[in-house]
Structure 1
Amino acid sequence: MSKRLPNPDEVRSTFARLFADDPEKATAYLYDLGVASGYIETEAVERNIRWTSESAYGTLECTINLSKPEKDPRAIAEAAASPAKSAAAGAHDAVADATEAENRIPSACSSSDSAPIRSVPRCDLCWENEGFAGSPEHPAKPGLRIAAIELGGERWGLQYSPYAYVPEHCIALSEKHRPMRIAAACFERLLDFADAFPFYFIGSNADLPIVGGSILSHDHFQGGRHTFPLMKAPVERDVALEAFPDVRCGIVRWPASVLRLESADRASLCCAAARILRAWQSFSHDACAIASHSPNPSKDGCAVLHNTLNPIVRKTGATYTMDLVLRNNRTDAGHPWGIFHPGDELHHIKKENIGLIEIMGLAILPARLARELPAVQRELVRAARKNRSVAWVQAKLLEQKATAPHASWAADVYARRAAEFLDAGEKSDNEGSTDGFPEPTRRLSPPMQEEVGRVFETILETTGVFKRDETGAAGWNALIEAIRRTDSPRS
């Protein structure tokens, strides 16, 4: 890099000065620093494979991310349960307060020469990552810079994601290392962010394993300059909230179960969202397999919460829109990965948690598919040209490591669409590739793209706590009645 990267305090000071004049100038400054430093790897992002796929719910977006590691949901859950990284909800604030001094970052006006030596960051989102030299257990993040912002009366940070799922994909992160928690205060912080940066969407992963994101140990949001498929989905049923006449509420036509709130009255919208959360956290419905809590023998009989949600906020003019995606993380013998999580039959495409970005209709698929899907496509093309049987195709796919996980699915695709693979093209070697990924993965055939899109649509449908049938409709009715009975939340 030919130009010196400003030190953290200088970045925060410049960001604050630009923000006072124009928030978009401030974010452009911070984003450009991330690109210039190489922290946002634009070349790697450009190599990601992207396409759109039509569904019953509108156009979905699919990407194969070549840089993001695939994570096991069970490992995420174990990390969230670790005493070193998380705390029970009841002890949440006490733990945060006890560690505040340890995690305090020097203010923007402090001298970098007098700043204390940073300890090893507790997670990938801790402010201590900024300037950390690295260790065998925790690699350095050179080029990372964090701007200071205020959300809910607290000091938070703003940085950009190196994975850049969407344009200007940003992360707002608490200065304190504390577990994620969906509560009324969370809604206030999201609305504060929307007021400060109305050109970005902002949302939160859920705060429970299975339905949460990849990091549950550090309170944070994700945002960016993007309109997701969920945001384009219409409200298909209005829901009257008598206590909040200035808030429009409705059920969104979406595979996941979503309530949409709209209002120009920020305070009223926030109160309505808090009431819905409170009702949902205690809601159970046997016919829909929803149980709000389950016993936990290891915690002196204290019940374990299963119901939470993804709140997503955007602002258009004076109007706030908040989508509340209902989530439940319960498991049972028949669904060890989660009753509302993709089952084993879908793991060949996606087994990770379905987090904030994906619940809005953008699939983040693992890098292994950049090798596996072309190999599958190659075999289907060859089989179609030789008029092979479905049984022969499945057996052939099972012989190869790259194609075996997809054998059953691909054989079904072949049975339905063999003729379409005659013209799909067979070139899928690595000749001419500079990154080890076959060039044809940049242009997966339309049938292959459509079929992967269908799998993603099915994955999203598994997350819906109220399925799109009579039983689901009855569940919605029961929840709406529970919301109307729920007292206003305590402040």
Structure 2
Amino acid sequence: MTNLSQTVEVLVQRAIDKSMITRQDAIYARNQILSYLHVNEFIEEQSLAHVNDDIPDLLESLTDYAARHNIIEDLLDEREKLSAQMMNVFVSKPSEINRTFYQKYEESPVLATDFFYQFSKDTNYIQTKRIAKNIEFVTPSAYGDLDITINLSKPEKDPEQIKRERELKQEIAYPQCLLCKENEGYAGRIGHPARSNHRIIEIPLEGETWFFQYSPYVYYNEHSIVFSSEHRPMTITRDTFSRLTAFVEQFPHYFIGSNADLPIVGGSILSHDHYQAGRYTFAMTNAEDEFRFSIDPFPSIEASVVKWPLSVIRLRHEDRHYLVNAAHHILTKWRDYSDPDANIVAYTEKTPHNTITPIARKRGNQFELDLVLRNNRTTKQHPAGLFHPHEDVHHIKKENIGLIEVMGLAVLPPRLKDELETIKQALLGENVTVADYHQNWVQSIKKRHSLITEETVTQIVEQELGEKFARVLEDAGVYKRDRAGRQAFQRFIDTVNET
């Protein structure tokens, strides 16, 4: 009991240190935590000075206790549920968080987001301990420095968890999806994550109510999600461009973008209209203009094609409404555009293939919109997608190329952590078994690097991985970066200028 009492007391103290509660709240908070652990007594401790654990470690210790004493089943979702419920003891109500956010916004949008980001970390909604496990590095490329992340933050479900999810599969439609506003404060269940400590900020966008939150597993600095109050499918329309530019008008220190609205080229959740934002500079943001062009119906727009593996049109103007009209003009032209010589077909019967991945930001007084042209057509040779990572790079990445990857940040599967270590050993001549799907890659690395040592092998493998990711992005580009591709791109621009 002494160790448990100490852990609870330290957790309460950490919440006080982070200004989530005051000392007047301490006994109340302690008793709430004890009730979740089915404990009816508490032993006062003389000193807590030697305990250095932070909130995630303390919560893990308490959920370990609950699992050992059969208070919860030792399953991931049950642990997450209890952890979030205990943390919620220290978290203010949504109205109070929104009030504080907008009080700080009156001083500065930066202060408002700084407050909410720190709050989301302090309350363990952003899983800082797990995020620290991710492998991250930067590799130079012909397109600038690419960010590489091997995602280890999301815990893998053990077989018992998967079994229980199947056994308890229920026809529950509440919340309707992981992005719905009804997740705020939701306790969670087997198969649906715990959100007791989750808070969201209400923001107006072009006459609609939207919400702002951070991602629990941030892939970049202040990785946030902006989502509609209405559960409706994602669509890319004029309204999309209006909302994106309205957001950066309110939060000019953030970028915001949307996944495309079609399978293969879209994101993982197409059922709920949402965007992703953040305070981060991606390689694509810094990419130079490859060439500039004019848009005849919008003569004051600064338009260019960006030097980037995907096909990107960049628009700039001080008047965001004028910019939105130009972007919508390009979207309308692209939706129905076909160029068989460039393998671009707009429709198969009534099934659409063309769409756009848009990204908005502010640069000084100008609004900037990047329109990434996408096409999700499949062929017999490329059944996963013609403008999708091709089979020869699937050993690295075969999932959809969504908004984050489009901008130059690779989110690679956890399996690569161990596989890359094995590859390093093989390159150093050790007797190890490399997965069949990596064999050709390993042989090609050996041919390109005559001298591989323990001091150089990590840098070589990371650089080779970055080059593979650049190839992944090139596969996703509808116009290839050769003479034929540039000529084909120009043909589309000519169409944009037709009245």
TM-score bucket (shorter structure) = 0.7 to 0.9
Matched, 1:161 2:182: no
CA distance in 2, matches of 1:472, 1:44: 42
Matched residue type, 1:166: Y
Which amino acid is 2:274 matched to? H
Matched, 1:405 2:491: no
Aligned length: 398
Q: CA deviation at 1:65?
A: 1.4
User: What is the aligned counterpart of 1:59 among 130, 145, 155?
Assistant: 145
Query: Quick check: 2:257–2:358 contact (8 Å CA) kept in 1?
Result: yes
Residue in 2 aligned with 1:200? 254
How has the CA–CA distance of structure 1 residues 357 and 267 changed in structure 2, closer, same or farther, with 3 Å as cutoff? same
Aligned 8 A contact 1:275 1:483 in 2: yes
1:157-180 superposed Cα distances (whole Å, 9 cap, x missing partner)? 000011111111111111111111
Residue 476 of structure 2 is matched in structure 1 by: 463
Partner SS for 1:155: strand
Match of 2:97 among 3, 6, 11: 11
Query: Is 2:306 the partner of 1:247?
Result: no
Residue in structure 2 matched with residue 376 of structure 1 by the alignment:
423
**Superposed displacement of residue 210, structure 1:** 0.6
- 1:111-130 equivalences in 2 (<5 Å): 120-130=174-184
The equivalent position to 1:35 in structure 2, one of 116, 121, 135, is 121
The residue that corresponds to 1:221 in the other structure is 275
Distance in 2, Cα, partners of 1:51 & 1:22: 32
Question: What's 1:331 paired with?
Answer: 378
Using the TM superposition, give the Cα deviation of residue 348 of structure 1 relative to its aligned residue in structure 2, in angstroms. 1.1
What is residue 74 of structure 1 aligned with on the other side? none
Contact persistence 1:30–1:145 (CA under 8 A): no
The question of 1:416 aligning with 2:438 is answered no
TM superposition shift of 1:17 = 2.9
1:41-440 paired onto structure 2 within 5 Å: 41-68=127-154, 120-295=174-349, 303-382=350-429, 399=433, 403-421=435-453, 423-424=455-456
CA contact (8 A) 2:132 2:153 kept: no
Q: Which runs of 5+ in 2 are unaligned?
A: 1-10, 16-89, 157-171
Secondary structure of 2:120's counterpart equals helix
* CA distance in 2: counterparts of 1:142 and 1:375, whole angstroms: 41
**1:466 to partner: Cα distance:** 0.7
State the Cα distance separating 1:119 from its structure 2 match: 6.4
Change in Cα spacing, 1:346 to 1:68, as seen in structure 2 (3 Å) is: farther
Separation (CA, whole Å) in 2 of partners of 1:32 and 1:473:
45
SS state at 2:428 partner: helix
- Offset, 1:60: 1.3
Distance 1:422 1:33 in 2: 42
User: What secondary structure is seen at the aligned counterpart in 1 of 2:252?
Assistant: coil
* Matching residue within 443, 447, 466 for 2:460: 447
Give the % identical residues: 44
Question: How far 1:461 sits from its partner (Å)?
Answer: 0.2
How far did residue 470 of structure 1 move? 2.5
Structure with bigger gyration radius: 2
TM-score (normalised: structure 1): 0.78
Change in Cα spacing, 1:68 to 1:463, as seen in structure 2 (3 Å) is farther
Return 5+ residue gaps in structure 1 as ranges. Answer: 71-117, 296-302, 384-395, 426-444, 487-491
Name the residue aligned to 1:392. Answer: none
For 1:245 and 1:174, locate their aligned partners in 2 and report how far apart those are by CA, in whole Å.
33
Residues 246 and 265 of structure 1 are in contact (CA less than 8 Å); yes or no, is this contact kept in structure 2? no
Per the TM alignment, residue 424 of structure 1 is displaced from its structure 2 partner at its CA by: 4.0
For residue 445 of structure 2, what is the amino acid of its counterpart?
Answer: V
Mapped partners of 1:182, 1:167: distance in 2: 25
Q: List structure 1 runs of 4+ shifted beyond 6 angstroms.
A: none
TM-score w.r.t. the length of structure 2 is: 0.77
* Equivalent residues of 2:120, 2:214 under 8 A apart: yes
